[in-house]
Amino acid sequence: MARAESWRLDPASYPVSMIIAPRFGDLDPLGHINNVAMASIFETARVHFHHLLGRHPADQGVRWLVAAVDLKYVEEAHFPYDVVVRSGIGHIGNSSWTLFSAAFQKDECVATCDTVMVMKGPKGKRIIDDDIRAVMEANAACRS
């Protein structure tokens, strides 16, 4: 079974941090934060992270689409403790990139998330421009 690599569980591996409070609606009959709800928490952190990149997709006539999401659940997460999501850019390709994130409760990693994004314009995939690429590189995740 695939496990998260150990550096992914370390908050110091990610440059950006955000606090997201769980909602009652995140809970499922097992009494913990549901795995899909955790995906929603990562999604909100991702949107905030992308604001850092300094360009809103709508400003460019392009769409930033989610191509893949890979979630690993490390520990059960519980309500109502704050979830701290830490994020950093992973691989940067021509028109796609990966965002590495990890969620923590009480300083313990509860889940990791790798999101592959792709930038599309009216004529298909769109090359990541140098300005955005520079911001991405400045916010890379790294093995600490």
> Residue numbers of the site for its own copies (CB under 8 A)?
1-2, 20-21, 23-25, 27-31, 34-37, 39-41, 43-44, 46-48, 63, 65-73, 76, 80, 93, 96, 116, 118
Phi/psi region, residue 31 (left: phi>0; alpha: psi -120 to 50; beta: rest), is left
Least distance to its own copies, CB of residue 82, Å: 11
Q: Which is nearer to its own copies, 31 or 144 (CB)?
A: 31
- Residue 2 C-beta: closest distance to its own copies, Å: 6
Residue closer to its own copies (CB basis): 11 or 93: 93
